Structure 1
Amino acid sequence: MCADTPDYKDTLNLPETDFPMRAGLPNREPGWLDRWEKIGVYDRLREKEGRPPFTLHDGPPYANGHLHIGHALNKILKDMIVRSQQMLGHDARYVPGWDCHGLPIEWKIEEQYRKKGKNKDEVPVIDFRQECRRFAEGWIDIQREEFKRLGVTGNWADPYLTMDYHAEAVIAEEFMKFLMNGTLYQGSKPVMWSPVEKTALAEAEVEYHDKESFTIWVKFKVTDFNVKDEDRMSEEETSEMREAVAQTIAETREKFLGANVVIWTTTPWTIPSNKAVVFGADYQYGLYEVTDTPDECWARVGERFILADKLAAQTFARARLEEGQWKRVSDVTAHQLAAMTLAHPLAGAEGSNGEWDQPRDFRAADFVTDEEGTGFVHCAPSHGMEEYELYRDLGMLDQVITYNVMDDGGFRADLPFFGGKYILNRKGGEGDANKTVIDKLVEVGGLLARGKIKHSYPHSWRSKAPVIYRNTSQWFAAVDAKLDDGMGQYGDTIRSRALTSIDELVKWTPQTGRNRLYSMIESRPDWVLSRQRAWGVPLTCFTKKGALPTDPDFLLRDETVNARVVAEFEAKGADVWYEDGFKDRVLGNVVNPDDYEQVFDVLDVWFDSGSTHAFVLRDRPDGTEDGIADLYLEGTDQHRGWFHSSLLQACGTKGRAPYRGVLTHGFTLDEKGMKMSKSLGNTIAPEDVTKQYGADILRLWVAQSDYTADLRIGQEILKGTADSYRRLRNTMRFILGNLAGFSDEEKVDVADMPELERWVLHRIAELDEIVRQGFADYDFQGLFQQVFNFATVDLSSVYFDIRKDALYCDADDSTRRRAARTVLDMLFHRLTTWLAPILVFTMEEVWLERFPGDESSVHLVDIPETPAAWKDEALAAKWAGIRKVRRVVTAALEVQRRDKVIGASLEAAPVVHVEDGEVAKALGTVHFADICITSDVSVTTDPAPAEAFRLPDAPGVAVVFETADGEKCQRCWKILPDVGTHSHDGVCGRCDEALG
């Protein structure tokens, strides 16, 4: 600029804002948390009257250890839903909670004892439970602060805890409803058992990992062959015919006697508990004979084996027999199989004391397959549910149940050969039981082959050790027992009510969650309620001494006793169950306490969390009128966990599901799609993210992700998220800077606005519908992508780019500038509230920049209503054509800028050739040069020269570059012919008028 050229910078309306480019979230976010707590945002929202309630019921995390990224994903999703529902006009309540009982905490205390040389069994149980309680309390305080640091709103001052006295009383009360409605029973059946933890486990406490197991092919010798009388010839037949049949039977008997039925198993330790072998009635079986043997083979020449034809070749291959070393002798029918008697491979073994000398039961069963193994299944009903159910239905359980395996996974001490051997060692590794069983089978000639297999196997998710199926005496809730409780609207059993609830009463997000839970409920066995531990709510029931579990008076069912138990728990908590004299107090004057035993197993912790609907939704003032939540939200693993147990529990005590909606999210993975593991070093702690980037970046990562699938996170992904954040922040900074000093008096009616502003309002109206529907559908990824594109493309790259000139250079009272600022004000109120549930800290910062005050907060306002009249489809269609042409002009000018022909677009005055006459006409109705940010533009429908610039995806539009004529305005920098002809030196007419 020459020395005598006026400097008009101070005459421009340049943006004014203290809103910084750099967010500094890690340092500033804690201050906003303190502010929200100080002004009581959550409580003030509860004071808004007349709003329909929306209750998201919190699935309780476990109170041990710092949060992991999965916790952060879960709580942020919940928070975005609660906040969005509140801003949509609901009274959105959120009571955070914690699961406090259970084995992990108990283990931690035992671990502390071991370090001090203390024995848990020598510590009074109430003292032990108190230490568990203190441990949980410590971690609740830690986790509460970690959750709050993520910007999660809720009633943090009064969360629910499953170990609160009232909660323990209600859990006991809910359990006693099962006692009273007849679904509770004590039974002995195979349950998943953790030898390391010495307790039964529920399906939800089990995860599957690869495990290498021993696999063996075992011989069960045919010791007899008896054809039933009805299958012999009748007396009316000739003696010759009877003699022929007898001869045939004798020959068949001779053929099969001494042959071996071969079974295959991956659990050698169950062989000592074998009671039967079963086959498939519809499969093809054959009798095979060994004709030659190689070295190191357990089969002998002439030995005969009965196998499913489909599996014979691979079985002999496992026995190291090649083709040609065995032959098929004959068919074996199901009728013939049923006539055979089998001996256990250890029958008659020296030193067995007759343990296995009884013949094994041999019959058809529908769970046998011919896909793997031998076509025969060895049955140890004490260690397999299918076998258990088969013999239960046959009424033969008393003949086949064994008690060979103790609670620590060791064989009973007096079991011949195997007493004192363990399935697992103390740390969950391979014990000595399998090897001992295999060695004994080799010794007695009972083994045909052995090997190892790697397969998916159930493990305890707590100890990470393998589990076993073990027959134990446990307490169950019968899911198919008929209920006469007056709550039969949706079915008369727990299972039928649950299935009806799933299909008729619950909205599933995503819908696939319905299928998963339905199939689980449809096929699940009775619910194992009991655990053999100390830290939990006891099974508050009493059994009559000397009575059998099948006797009608085995369980004491008395409402007075139940009420006394609940009252004691309310006053002193569940510890009171273990006090001396408790039984006498609650049973006195009702029955003779000496006639009853007190049960000391504790409830499955899933019953605790499954009961939360009762002591949170039903009982709390901030619960719900009907004790039913609008939404339960957890990870996909909770189909077999909290969703599952809550459904069963409520169907037994309420008659229906305790939720109207269920949302599930996936798991968190590293950037390569691998499961996070400390051993791999690929874990990301929420605390590390908030320290480096801030919680809003973590929240934005959640919003940008498809939570219905597994989510990836890592440094590169977070960097990309931070970049998206910066672009949004710049959008908000532009709005703030150009609203400095704005007041209601400056507003322009919509009808008086230029078309460009009315197009923006149309887009706002479109987005408002998308945002509201997205929040209603919990589709954060979809709605955020739309808002982000609107903010960074429609606004920053188009509207703001075009309107900078008017905002900076127009006169203060110009309609165009006032209209633009009016639209910016409308954008401010929508963008801040649309994004507030996601970027809780940043939108608060934006809000306070414009509306400072001790009581001010964006989280106290609702998303403003957007008039439907703002939508104008005809205008939108017109501007779609204008933007298409603008895009070609912008691209043409970028070529000139890249080639250094021009330095800025205002140096250009392009000629635009438009084939479509309607589009050309539309361009003539707007200030197209302003829209293209050029000093001038010419629009023509004449054919474009060949050298004109074109874009392949914008046919019918071509641009010929021309430079602008005139001088550069020293105020707005447009190059115009009239510059220098006005009262103010070096300016154009528009700027001269603005200068006054």
Structure 2
Amino acid sequence: MLRGVSPPVAAPLAVAQAEAFPQPASQAAREDDRGLAGADSQYRDTVLVPRSRFPAQLPGRLQPEAELETQQKCGFSELYSWQRQRKAKQEFCLHDGPPYANGDPHVGHALNKILKDITNRFYMMRGYKVHYVPGWDCHGLPIELKALSEVKGAENLSPMEIRQKAREFAERAIEKQKSAFIRWGVMADWANCYRTFDPKYEANQLRVFYKMYDKGFIYQDYKPVFWSPSAKTALAEAELEYNEQHVSRSVYMKFPLLKSPPKLTSVIDGSSSASVLVWTTQPWTVPANQAVCYMPDSAYSIVKCTTTGEHFILAADRVESTAAVLDRQFEVMSTCVDLADGSCAHPTIPDRVSPLLPANHVTMAKGTGLVHTAPAHGMEDYSVASHHQLPTDCLVDEGGFFTEAAGPELQNKNVLEEGNEAVIQMLQAAGSLLKEEKYVHSYPYDWRTKKPMIIRASKQWFVNTANVKATAQEVLKKVKVIPTSAANRMLEMLDRRTFWCISRQRCWGVPIPVFYQKNTGECLINSETITDVIKVVEQQGTDAWWTLPIEQLLSKEAVAKAGGHDVLDYVKGQDVLDIWFDSGTSWAHVLEGAAQQVADIYLYKNTLKVYCLPGG
């Protein structure tokens, strides 16, 4: 009982079920078999056991009917509204981390909802008024892919046709899951659920986006990101899974030395050829090479191949292992600790110079201790390029094919397949290839399409987590996280990742509300533009971004404030927000009526992570 308050039902559960399903007549016979009657009946009254007409068991075919009738007689569906109407001094708010609307209810949903229901009922029985609004995460690539898998000729659909198919798929999944949750007796505000594709929800999400942009937490940049050629979109690191048995075609290649590092100049005979020895598991990235990196403060040797007379530069610690792999004999001529001011020629592109540069990401675990550096295809490579003002030219398109800029020998070839082969052949023809071999290692895959990823430079939108790291870590320390290891992982992640890519190149999602100048590509977003867009979204939802002409989304006043002249000089952006931005901003919509928009507990989706927020 709840502090002297009568329950909202007339009959206890046991009586309700007993009346609906009376005990069968054969029950007495079964009691005789257990020794509870007959010769032992003299002991019946000495054992204090409860007496009930509640059936001991039901045939499987009757269980669904029993569940439904029990719910009706016990008033499960009215429990939430009843407890909201009673007078209570305190309110307990559990924020529903939304399940994903892409399939039938399963044991993960059950675990998640039961944990929430136990928590809510516990506080309700302590006299609290419970605030719990269930919801669904409805956008994103998984739903889009599943919806399109049911359609023939899906590649020919327009963005609005894709959005319609995805919405219908999500709505069907929501109805299935919702009916299951209600049937399980979960106490919630089922009449006012939230869905991330509701217009008001989307409008609130855009408000959060602009607030973060206005404070400098969101920015646009051109740099390498994890890219899924199979889905043709950027992905976050958390959206990857790693194939431990992926096979790459690794190569050992030489970069002819153009300028000897000063500390090795006296050793190298001017008449002898010398090359920097490099190993890579991704030959397709060689055309984008801009430098070769070495480990600072590490010993590097110049060796002479006793067979060919060539001179090679590589890490002193890797001489023996590299000689064994190449099946050659190396004679160490000299060793030094600094390769500064040296440079080499690109192995396949005439006239391109690749400087030798120090970089802390170089390791001695594998290879030659010298790393080929393609700024468009590596996070560390990009950092080196940014520091030394090197170009970051991407020669690969959204589908993972070489572009025209890669040259006629490579254009339109898939970089992970025939493109890789073509680059290896080019290295062979240039006399730069020393050895090719299969290499089994861990490699990132798209967790949805189950196809290999690449790293590819492109213009994306990011959250600058470096700017909020210190504050976020301090706040997180005040939150009780179950299990504790989850909090530790979050703290480590904040230390490790300085940005979060939030843009996706799909159409089933909330659009990033930015306009671009046709000629310059300069982005336009300000308080006027976002206000105009939000007004439309609140009324029509984000479908309006694709259906309405730009004149109805962007006002002349907003263009004038930005120094522009004509609305038609701009185009709408085509990127959508990462779905974790969708669910991560759910508080802005769901907790509008809660005190200070703060929940006591946030139980996240289908996991056991429970975040007890400050004040809870």
Q: Shorter-chain TM-score category?
A: 0.7 to 0.9
CA drift of 1:41 comes to 1.4
Q: Is 1:312 matched with 2:303?
A: no
SS state at 2:353 partner: coil
* Equivalent position of 1:390 in the other structure: 384
CA drift of 1:546 comes to 4.3
- The 5-angstrom pairing of residues 783-822 of structure 1 reads none
* Equivalent position of 2:188 in the other structure: 154
Q: Is 1:568 matched with 2:533?
A: no
CA drift of 1:360 comes to 0.7
CA drift of 1:267 comes to 1.4
Please tell me whether the aligned partners of residues 318 and 450 of structure 1 are also in contact (alpha carbons under 8 angstroms): no
* Equivalent position of 1:626 in the other structure: 596
- The letter of the residue matching 2:458 is T
* Equivalent position of 2:418 in the other structure: 432
Q: Distance in 1 between matches of 2:465 and 2:231?
A: 27
Please tell me whether the aligned partners of residues 222 and 256 of structure 1 are also in contact (alpha carbons under 8 angstroms): no
2:580 to 599, 602, 606: 606
SS state at 1:264 partner: strand
1:368 to 345, 362, 370: 362
* Equivalent position of 1:475 in the other structure: 461
* Equivalent position of 2:254 in the other structure: 219
Q: Is 1:79 matched with 2:104?
A: no
2:56 to 21, 24, 29: 21
Q: Is 1:588 matched with 2:556?
A: yes
1:47 to 85, 99, 105: 85
2:589 to 603, 615, 626: 615
* Equivalent position of 1:527 in the other structure: 500
Q: Which of the pair is proportionally richer in strand?
A: 2
Q: Distance in 2 between matches of 1:79 and 1:213?
A: 49
* Equivalent position of 1:259 in the other structure: 274
SS state at 2:192 partner: coil
Please tell me whether the aligned partners of residues 108 and 607 of structure 2 are also in contact (alpha carbons under 8 angstroms): no
- The letter of the residue matching 2:318 is L
2:451 to 465, 470, 481: 465
TM-score (norm 2): 0.85
* Equivalent position of 1:446 in the other structure: 432
Structure 2 CA distance for partners of 1:17 and 1:72, relative to 1, 3 Å: closer
The gaps in structure 1 that reach 5 residues or longer are: 232-247, 293-300, 349-356, 425-430, 481-492, 644-657, 663-775, 777-996
Q: Which string of whole-angstrom CA distances, capped at 9 and with x for unpartnered residues, describes residues 471-500 of structure 1?
A: 0011223234xxxxxxxxxxxx32222112
TM-score (norm 1): 0.54
CA drift of 1:39 comes to 5.6
Q: Distance in 1 between matches of 2:72 and 2:48?
A: 34
Please tell me whether the aligned partners of residues 584 and 593 of structure 1 are also in contact (alpha carbons under 8 angstroms): no
SS state at 1:409 partner: coil
SS state at 1:574 partner: coil
Q: Is 1:120 matched with 2:168?
A: no
Q: Which moved more, 1:173-182 or 1:144-153?
A: 144-153
Q: Is 1:172 matched with 2:206?
A: yes
Structure 2 CA distance for partners of 1:47 and 1:498, relative to 1, 3 Å: same
Structure 2 CA distance for partners of 1:9 and 1:181, relative to 1, 3 Å: closer
Structure 2 CA distance for partners of 1:181 and 1:339, relative to 1, 3 Å: closer
CA drift of 1:60 comes to 1.5
- The letter of the residue matching 2:300 is Y
* Equivalent position of 2:488 in the other structure: 515
- The letter of the residue matching 1:388 is Y
Percent of aligned positions that are identical: 36
CA drift of 1:437 comes to 1.9
2:103 to 45, 65, 72: 65
Please tell me whether the aligned partners of residues 274 and 378 of structure 1 are also in contact (alpha carbons under 8 angstroms): yes
1:421 to 383, 393, 413: 413
Please tell me whether the aligned partners of residues 272 and 310 of structure 2 are also in contact (alpha carbons under 8 angstroms): no
Q: Distance in 2 between matches of 1:287 and 1:589?
A: 66
* Equivalent position of 1:501 in the other structure: 475
Q: How many corresponding residue pairs?
A: 566
CA drift of 1:448 comes to 2.2
CA drift of 1:516 comes to 0.6
Please tell me whether the aligned partners of residues 377 and 456 of structure 2 are also in contact (alpha carbons under 8 angstroms): yes
Higher relative contact order (CA 8 A, sep 6+): 2
1:660 to 601, 613, 616: 613
Q: Distance in 1 between matches of 2:194 and 2:432?
A: 59
Q: Which string of whole-angstrom CA distances, capped at 9 and with x for unpartnered residues, describes residues 235-266 of structure 1?
A: xxxxxxxxxxxxx95x4342696222112222
* Equivalent position of 2:397 in the other structure: 406
- The 5-angstrom pairing of residues 84-99 of structure 1 reads 84-99=122-137
Q: Which moved more, 1:21-30 or 1:368-377?
A: 21-30
Structure 2 CA distance for partners of 1:14 and 1:371, relative to 1, 3 Å: closer
Q: Distance in 1 between matches of 2:485 and 2:44?
A: 62
Q: Distance in 2 between matches of 1:346 and 1:312?
A: 25
Please tell me whether the aligned partners of residues 542 and 596 of structure 1 are also in contact (alpha carbons under 8 angstroms): yes
SS state at 1:157 partner: helix
Please tell me whether the aligned partners of residues 99 and 609 of structure 1 are also in contact (alpha carbons under 8 angstroms): yes
Structure 2 CA distance for partners of 1:453 and 1:82, relative to 1, 3 Å: farther
1:342 to 340, 344, 358: 344
Q: Distance in 2 between matches of 1:627 and 1:76?
A: 24
Q: Which string of whole-angstrom CA distances, capped at 9 and with x for unpartnered residues, describes residues 160-218 of structure 1?
A: 10001111111112112233223332211001110000001112222223222222222
Q: Which string of whole-angstrom CA distances, capped at 9 and with x for unpartnered residues, describes residues 47-76 of structure 1?
A: 232242222212212211123333332232
Q: Which string of whole-angstrom CA distances, capped at 9 and with x for unpartnered residues, describes residues 565-613 of structure 1?
A: 2121111101111233343454134434134332221111111111101
Q: Which string of whole-angstrom CA distances, capped at 9 and with x for unpartnered residues, describes residues 811-862 of structure 1?
A: xxxxxxxxxxxxxxxxxxxxxxxxxxxxxxxxxxxxxxxxxxxxxxxxxxxx
Please tell me whether the aligned partners of residues 539 and 602 of structure 1 are also in contact (alpha carbons under 8 angstroms): yes
Q: Distance in 1 between matches of 2:280 and 2:250?
A: 6
- The letter of the residue matching 1:67 is P
Structure 2 CA distance for partners of 1:71 and 1:446, relative to 1, 3 Å: farther
Q: Is 1:107 matched with 2:145?
A: yes
Q: Distance in 2 between matches of 1:83 and 1:341?
A: 70
Please tell me whether the aligned partners of residues 536 and 553 of structure 2 are also in contact (alpha carbons under 8 angstroms): no
2:239 to 196, 201, 205: 205
Q: Is 1:597 matched with 2:597?
A: no
Q: Which string of whole-angstrom CA distances, capped at 9 and with x for unpartnered residues, describes residues 707-729 of structure 1?
A: xxxxxxxxxxxxxxxxxxxxxxx
SS state at 2:257 partner: strand
RMSD: 2.9
Q: Which moved more, 1:185-194 or 1:29-38?
A: 29-38
Structure 2 CA distance for partners of 1:449 and 1:70, relative to 1, 3 Å: farther
CA drift of 1:119 comes to 4.2
SS state at 1:477 partner: strand
Q: Distance in 2 between matches of 1:525 and 1:154?
A: 38
Please tell me whether the aligned partners of residues 218 and 447 of structure 1 are also in contact (alpha carbons under 8 angstroms): yes
Q: Distance in 2 between matches of 1:182 and 1:66?
A: 40
- The 5-angstrom pairing of residues 705-744 of structure 1 reads none
Please tell me whether the aligned partners of residues 256 and 276 of structure 2 are also in contact (alpha carbons under 8 angstroms): yes
